[in-house]
C-alpha cells in the first residue's frame, strides 16, 4: 500500500519550528516562476536569433541632436527684408517662408501658396494660400499677413526700385493678387520667395523701424525652425514640430560666430563646431585633411566675365574676339586658378537655367586656330613674340580686382594670350574702383569681373541691351538690334515658353558676336562633420542664403527599423524596433 501523507495540521507551527515543504505554496510559485522565466528567456533568445536570421534591420533617421555651425557674424538682423549679409540671410531663411521657394533643382515651387495663376492682360499673379499654417506663437497665417508684408516692402521709406512697382490686394479670404505696375519687368515668382512677416506681432511698426524693435533679432516666423536663444556669439534655433512641411530631424541648429573663415576652420579642428559655413579655395585642402569631415560644393548663381571694350579699335574686328576665345583654356582656369571652386562657362545664361540652349557656336581651346585668325586679320608675329600690324603692337591692359583668386586668374589668362602673340599687362584695383572708375566709364581694354546673381531668373537685359550702355551694366558697349529685340520682347511676356525662344535667339547672337568672353561660374563650398548624415545641397544656389534649404532632411540621431521578416513570422515586428 502506498504511503499516505499525513493530513494538514490545524495548528500553526511554533515560532521555532521550520515549516515543511508541504506547508509552503510560495516556494512552488517561485520555482514555477523560475521555470517560466527560463522558458521565456529561451523563447526571447530564440526569437532574437530567428529575427537576426530572417529579418533585415537597418538604421533610419530619428529626431534629435544639435548641429553647430561656425559662420562669420554676428548678423544685425534676422528679418528677411532687412538681411544683407550671408549669415543673416541663411538664418532668416530657416525662420520664415515666402509664397514660393526654390526647390533643390532651382525651380520655383509653392511654399505658403498652394498654387498661382498668371493674368497676362492685367500683368498680375493670383496666389492661393495654404490654410494650415501657423506662426511660431500658434496664431494662424492669414491674407492680412501677406498684405502687411507687401505694404512694408513697397513703402516709401524703403524706396526699393523693384518693389515700388508692385501692388498687392486681397482676392477673397485665402488669396492675394499682385500687380506689376509701370510696365517694369520683375521676376515676381522669385521675388515672392521673401519671407512673410506677422502683422499681429509688428502692429504699426514701419519698415524703417523694424530694425530697432525686439522683433529684429527675436522674430516669429512660420518656418521649419524657430528662435530659441540669441546671444552675442551665437543664435540657437529649435525645430518647429508643428511645421506644415514636417518637422526637421535635427532638433537644434546653433550658429556660432567667428571673425573669419580661418578661425572657423580652427574651431572645426578643435571639435567646437560640426560645420563650416563657407570654405575659401585656399582652405579646402586644409579641411580635407580632417578625417571625419566632408567637403560639399555646389554651383552658385553667378559668372566670371572677361569684358572686351568694343569702343577700342582692337576689338572692332570680330575675328580678334574669336581668336581670344580660342586662346583661353577655361578648364585650366577652373582647375588651377580657381582650385575647383568654379566650373567652365560659355554662355551668358547658366547651363542649369530653363532658358539655356546648347545650340550655339562653340569656341574650343585651340591656340593654333587662334593664331590663324590673328594672321588672317593682319597681325603678324614680331621678333619679340608680340604681334604687330604696321607700327601697332597687339598690346592690351587687363584690369581685375584684388578679391581672392582674381589676380591669379587674370595672370593665367595673360599667359594664355601671350602664347598666341598678345602683349598683356595686368593691373589690379579694388572692386569699387574697377567698377565705377573704369568699367562704368568704359575706360578699359579688357576687364575681368565676377558677379554673384540674386536669384536664377535668366533675364540679361541690364547687362547686354544697348539701352544699358550708359546707365546699366553693358560695359562692353554691345549693340546688336536683334539682341535688343529679343531681350525686350522677353520682358514683355509672362509666358515662359516664349521667353525661352527669345533667350535662345539672344544666346546664338552672343556666341556669333563674342562681345565678351564668359569664363566661369562660381561654386560655393562648405564642410560638415560626418556625424551629420544625409547632407544634401541644392544642385544650384540661387543665393548663398539658400544653402541650408534642404537641412530638414539632414539627421544626426538614428533608430532601428525592421524592413521585413521572412518565413512563418513574416509581418511580425519586435516591440523595441520601430
Do residues 342 and 523 lie in contact, with contact meaning Cβ atoms separated by under 8 Å? yes
Q: What is the pLDDT of residues 285-303, one digit of tens each?
A: 999 999 999 999 999 999 9
What CATH number is attached to the domain comprising 179? 3.90.76.10
pLDDT tens sequence across 156-204: 988 888 899 999 999 999 999 999 998 888 899 999 999 999 999 998 8
Of residues 73 and 93, more confidence is placed in 93
User: Cα separation of 195 and 549, whole Å?
Assistant: 13
Coil, helix or strand at residue 129: strand
- Residue 55 falls inside a structural domain: no
Question: Residue 229's domain is classified under what CATH number?
Answer: 3.40.190.10
Lowest average pLDDT, out of 8-17, 185-194, 260-269, goes to: 8-17
- Among 155-169, 252-266, 474-488, 561-575, which stretch is predicted with the lowest mean pLDDT? 561-575
pTM comes to 0.83
Q: How far apart are CA 72 and CA 260, in angstroms?
A: 6
Q: Is residue 30 part of a domain?
A: no
504/362 same-domain check: yes
Number of domains making up the chain: 3
Mean pLDDT (the chain, rounded): 89
Q: How far apart are CA 15 and CA 299, in angstroms?
A: 89
For the CA atoms of 102, 104, 105, 106, the dihedral, rounded to the nearest 10 degrees, stands at 20
Nearest-angstrom CA–CA distance, 325 and 330? 10
Q: What is the pLDDT of residues 464-490, one digit of tens each?
A: 999 999 989 999 999 999 999 999 999
Which domain-ending residue is among 508, 523, 538? Answer: 523
* Residue 565: predicted pLDDT: 56
Say how far apart CA 314 and CA 515 lie, in whole Å: 12
pLDDT score recorded for residue 48? 56
Instruction: Give the total residue count for the chain.
Output: 578
Is 344 in the same domain as 437?
yes
67: nearest Cα among 241, 234, 242: 234
pLDDT value at 221 more than 50:
yes
Q: Are residues 116 and 143 in the same domain?
A: yes
- Name the band, by pLDDT with cuts 50, 70 and 90, for residue 564: low
Q: Is the confidence at residue 7, as pLDDT, over 80? A: no
Q: Which range has the worst mean pLDDT, 18-27, 180-189, 331-340?
A: 18-27
pLDDT at 44: 57
Mean pLDDT score, 516-536? 96
Indicate whether 33 pLDDT > 50: no
89 and 119 fall within a common domain? no
Cβ atoms of 291 and 328 within 8 Å: the answer is no
pLDDT value of position 566: 59
User: 391 CB contacts (<8 Å, ≥6 apart)?
Assistant: none
What integer pLDDT is reported at residue 185 of this predicted model? 87
Residue range(s) defining the domain that contains residue 283: 61-94+223-291+548-578
Domain annotation covers residue 248 = yes
The closest of 72, 106, 65 to 537, measured between CA atoms, is 106
Q: Do the domain assignments include residue 155?
A: yes
pLDDT surpasses 70 at 13 = no
CA gap 94, 105 in Å, rounded: 18
What is the DSSP track for 493-528? Answer: ---HHHHHHHHHHHHHHHHHH-SEEEEEEEEEEEEE
Q: Does residue 245 sit in the same domain as residue 268? A: yes
In a domain, 398, yes or no: yes
* Same structural domain, 242 and 195: no
Out of 169, 200, 231, a domain closes at 200
Q: Is 395 helix (H, G, I), strand (E, B) or coil?
A: strand
pLDDT in tens, 339-370: 768 999 999 999 989 999 999 999 999 999 99
pLDDT over 60 at 21, yes or no: no
Looking at residue 113, what is its pLDDT?
Answer: 98
Q: Which residue has the higher pLDDT, 174 or 58?
A: 174
pLDDT at 439: 97
Does position 17 have pLDDT exceeding 70, yes or no?
no
Q: Would you state the pLDDT for residue 161?
A: 85
The SS3 call for residue 168 is strand
Position 22 in a domain: no
The share of the chain scoring above pLDDT 70, in percent, equals 87
Q: Are both 320 and 172 inside the same structural domain?
A: no
Q: Residues 187, 101: one domain? A: yes
Asked if 325 and 466 sit in the same domain, the reply is yes
Mean predicted confidence (pLDDT) in 65-85? 95
Whether 28 is in a domain gets the answer: no
What's the CATH code of the domain at 492? 3.10.105.10
pLDDT of residue 39: 63
Last residue of a domain, one of 145, 168, 200: 200
Q: How far apart, in whole angstroms, are the C-alpha atoms of residue 509 and residue 482?
A: 8
pLDDT value at 571 more than 80: no
SS3 content of the chain, % helix, strand, coil (to 5): 35, 25, 45
Q: For a pLDDT cut of 90, what percent of the chain falls above it?
A: 76
Residues 85 and 103 in one domain: no
pLDDT number for residue 31: 47
CA proximity to 194, closest of 83, 119, 77: 83
Spatial distance between the Cα atoms of 322 and 308, rounded to a whole number of angstroms: 11
pLDDT at 337 over 50: yes
Q: How far apart are CA 227 and CA 94, in angstroms?
A: 10
Q: What is the model's pLDDT at position 341?
A: 85
Same domain, 183 and 84: no
* 401 and 507 inside one domain: yes
Query: What pLDDT was estimated at residue 59?
Result: 84
In Å, what is the CA distance from 198 to each residue of 79, 98, 126, 189?
11, 12, 21, 21
Residue 54's pLDDT band (boundaries 50, 70, 90)?
low
> What SS3 state is found at 216?
helix
Name which of 322, 328, 366, 355 is nearest 448 in CA terms.
328
pLDDT at 43: 60
Q: Indicate whether 128 pLDDT > 90.
A: yes
**Structure-block grid coordinates of residue 238:** 529649435
Exposure pattern of 225-247 as b/e (b: 16+ CB <10 Å)?
Answer: bbbeebeeebbbbbbbeebbeee
Give pLDDT, residue 152. 95
The answer to whether position 26 is within a domain reads no
Angstrom CA distances, 466 to 56, 480, 505, 515, 516, stand at 65, 8, 16, 12, 14
| pLDDT value for 53 | 55
Amino acid at each position: 500500500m502506498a504511503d499516505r501523507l499525513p493530513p494538514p495540521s490545524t495548528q500553526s507551527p511554533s515560532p521555532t519550528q521550520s515549516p515543511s515543504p508541504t506547508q509552503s505554496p510560495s516556494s512552488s510559485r517561485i520555482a514555477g516562476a523560475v521555470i517560466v522565466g527560463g522558458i521565456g528567456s529561451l523563447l526571447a533568445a530564440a526569437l532574437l536569433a530567428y529575427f537576426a536570421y530572417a529579418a533585415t534591420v537597418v538604421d533610419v533617421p530619428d529626431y534629435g541632436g544639435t548641429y553647430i555651425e561656425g559662420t562669420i557674424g554676428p548678423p544685425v538682423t534676422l528679418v528677411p527684408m532687412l538681411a544683407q549679409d550671408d549669415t543673416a540671410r541663411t538664418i532668416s531663411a530657416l525662420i520664415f517662408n515666402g509664397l514660393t521657394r526654390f526647390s533643390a533643382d532651382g525651380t520655383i515651387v509653392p511654399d505658403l501658396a498652394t498654387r498661382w495663376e498668371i493674368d497676362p492682360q492685367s500683368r498680375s499673379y493670383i496666389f492661393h494660400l495654404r490654410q494650415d499654417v501657423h506662426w511660431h506663437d500658434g496664431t494662424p497665417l492669414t491674407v492680412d499677413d501677406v498684405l502687411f508684408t507687401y505694404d512694408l516692402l513697397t513703402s516709401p521709406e524703403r524706396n526699393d526700385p523693384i518693389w515700388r512697382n508692385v501692388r498687392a490686394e486681397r482676392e477673397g479670404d485665402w488669396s492675394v493678387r499682385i500687380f506689376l505696375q509701370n510696365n517694369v519687368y520683375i521676376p515676381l515668382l522669385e521675388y515672392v520667395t521673401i519671407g512673410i512677416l506677422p502683422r499681429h506681432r509688428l502692429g504699426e511698426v514701419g519698415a524703417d523701424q523694424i530694425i530697432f524693435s525686439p522683433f529684429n533679432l527675436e522674430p516669429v516666423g512660420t518656418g521649419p525652425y524657430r528662435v530659441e536663444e540669441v546671444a552675442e556669439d551665437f543664435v540657437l534655433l529649435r525645430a518647429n514640430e508643428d511645421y506644415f512641411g514636417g518637422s526637421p530631424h535635427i532638433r537644434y541648429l546653433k550658429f556660432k560666430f567667428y571673425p573669419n573663415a580661418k578661425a572657423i576652420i580652427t574651431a572645426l579642428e578643435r571639435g567646437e563646431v560640426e560645420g563650416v559655413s563657407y570654405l575659401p579655395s585656399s582652405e579646402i585642402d586644409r579641411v580635407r585633411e580632417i578625417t571625419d569631415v566632408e567637403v560639399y560644393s555646389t554651383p552658385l548663381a553667378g559668372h566670371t566675365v572677361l569684358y572686351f571694350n568694343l569702343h577700342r579699335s582692337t576689338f572692332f574686328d570680330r575675328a580678334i574676339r574669336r581668336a581670344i576665345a580660342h586662346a583661353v583654356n577655361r578648364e585650366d582656369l577652373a582647375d588651377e586658378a580657381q582650385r575647383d571652386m568654379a566650373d567652365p562657362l560659355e554662355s551668358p545664361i547658366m547651363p542649369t537655367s530653363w532658358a539655356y540652349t546648347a545650340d550655339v557656336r562653340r569656341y574650343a581651346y585651340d591656340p593654333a586656330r587662334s593664331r590663324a585668325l590673328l594672321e588672317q586679320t593682319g597681325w603678324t608675329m614680331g621678333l619679340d613674340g608680340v604681334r604687330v600690324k604696321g607700327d601697332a603692337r597687339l598690346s592690351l591692359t587687363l584690369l581685375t580686382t584684388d578679391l581672392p583668386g582674381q589676380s591669379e586668374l587674370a595672370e593665367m589668362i595673360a599667359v594664355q594670350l601671350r602664347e598666341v602673340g598678345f602683349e598683356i599687362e595686368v593691373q589690379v584695383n579694388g572692386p569699387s574702383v574697377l567698377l565705377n572708375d573704369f568699367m562704368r566709364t568704359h575706360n578699359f581694354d579688357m576687364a575681368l569681373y565676377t558677379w554673384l546673381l540674386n536669384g536664377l531668373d535668366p533675364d540679361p537685359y541690364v547687362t547686354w541691351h544697348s539701352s544699358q550702355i550708359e546707365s546699366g551694366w553693358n560695359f562692353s558697349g554691345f549693340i546688336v538690334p536683334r539682341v535688343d529685340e529679343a531681350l525686350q520682347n522677353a520682358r514683355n511676356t509672362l509666358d515662359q515658353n516664349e521667353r525661352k525662344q527669345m533667350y535662345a535667339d539672344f544666346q546664338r547672337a552672343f556666341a556669333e558676336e563674342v562681345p565678351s568672353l564668359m569664363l566661369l561660374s562660381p561654386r560655393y563650398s562648405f564642410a560638415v562633420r560626418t556625424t551629420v548624415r544625409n547632407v544634401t545641397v541644392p544642385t544650384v544656389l540661387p543665393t548663398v542664403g539658400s544653402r541650408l534649404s534642404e537641412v530638414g532632411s539632414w539627421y544626426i540621431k538614428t533608430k532601428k527599423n525592421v524592413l521585413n521578416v521572412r518565413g512563418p513570422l513574416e509581418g511580425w515586428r519586435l516591440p523595441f524596433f520601430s
